[in-house]
Amino acid sequence: MPAPIVLFVYCRPQHTRSTIQSLLQNAESAESELIIYSDAPRTAAAAPQVQQVREYCRGLEGFKAVRVIESQRNLGLAGSIIRGVTEALEQYQQVIVLEDDLVLSPWFLRYMNAGLETYRDDELVASIHGYCYPVRQPLPATFFLRGADCWGWGVWRRSWQLFQADGAVLLQQLESRKLTHEFDLGGAMGFTQMLRDQIAGRNDSWAVRWHASCFLAGRLTLYPGSSLVCNAGLDGSGVHCGPDESLVAAVARSPVEVQRQVAREDGRSREIIARHLGGSRQRRSWRDWLKSGLLFLGERLRNH
């Protein structure tokens, strides 16, 4: 049976439609339960768009079942995702998690469900990821990286239990174990600074805490060599989200097969991705680089 799909939406009707339409192009949708978490508007100005999204979601067909959970107060992106994933995994052993600005390959659900089934009992594997970076060098069909990610991901109840919501606890461990440089992909990204900013209240990133939680536990995430996800939120429609070509990936036009392999980080793939992201950093200002790091970890700060 396909894993339930948990989709988080807010106030962008067209992006939500694009995500749903691409999801329905996956044959497995007809046998998949869709659980939609709709956050309440943060401002009065967002209310009409939130209502429009909710009305669209209530009328959805094409899935095995659709359940729409409408929050009565604004939780923000982090609060909504932490609550929703936790609730879903209290009911199910595994789920697939999406946000409303992701456009998916027709082969996305096939890959995600295969990955979740193949590595279900492998404690070293924390999650399955659908996005891959648009690097120039060829990557393996699938490979592992240490930590976790957030642009179309599958997770088990056992691994979500690793999530540590207290960023200060995570930072203390990274610093005491002298892991900050490795955590930052050898300096290619600014994840440690993002974590410091989360602790200081300058961002509310759930994703950097999820990544750090799995990284510190030595857990791995499976990636496809060809991306099965495109982030439409990189079009500049989200608050604080400008276009970023270093992260825009073309969606794979053919299936990505999941073959069981030994769960260990692929050093070559990690180096290729680090060079890609590090090269992009050199071409941008520090502020743009940090913003790309937030994008990389799913922070679509869209009036949420």
pLDDT in tens, 95-140: 999 999 999 999 999 999 999 999 999 999 999 999 999 999 999 9
* CATH code for the domain of 81: 3.90.550.10
d(CA 10, CA 39): 6
34, part of any domain: yes
pTM, to two decimals? 0.91
Burial category of 71 from C-beta neighbours within 10 Å (exposed 0-12, middle 13-18, buried 19 and up): middle
Contact 204, 198 (CB under 8 A): yes
303, part of any domain: no
304, part of any domain: no
Phi, psi angle pair for 29, to nearest 5°:
-60, -35
Phi, psi angle pair for 73, to nearest 5°:
-140, 155
pLDDT in tens, the chain (304 residues): 999 999 999 999 999 999 999 999 999 999 999 999 999 999 999 999 999 999 999 999 999 999 999 999 999 999 999 999 999 999 999 999 999 999 999 999 999 999 999 999 999 999 999 999 999 999 999 999 999 999 999 999 999 999 999 999 999 999 999 999 999 999 999 999 999 999 999 999 999 999 999 999 999 999 999 999 998 865 554 433 444 555 777 788 899 999 999 999 999 999 999 999 987 554 444 445 455 555 555 544 444 5
Residue 136, helix vs strand vs coil? coil
301, part of any domain: no
290, part of any domain: yes
38, part of any domain: yes
CA of 184: how far to CAs of 78, 101, 108, 220, in Å?
21, 25, 28, 16
Query: Domain of 242?
Result: 5-296
302, part of any domain: no
Q: For 152-180, what is each residue's pLDDT tens digit?
A: 999 999 999 999 999 999 999 999 999 99
Radius of gyration of the chain (CA): 18
At 216, which amino acid appears?
L
How many domains does the chain divide into? 1
114, part of any domain: yes
d(CA 117, CA 130): 15
Name the residue with tokens 């939680």. 213
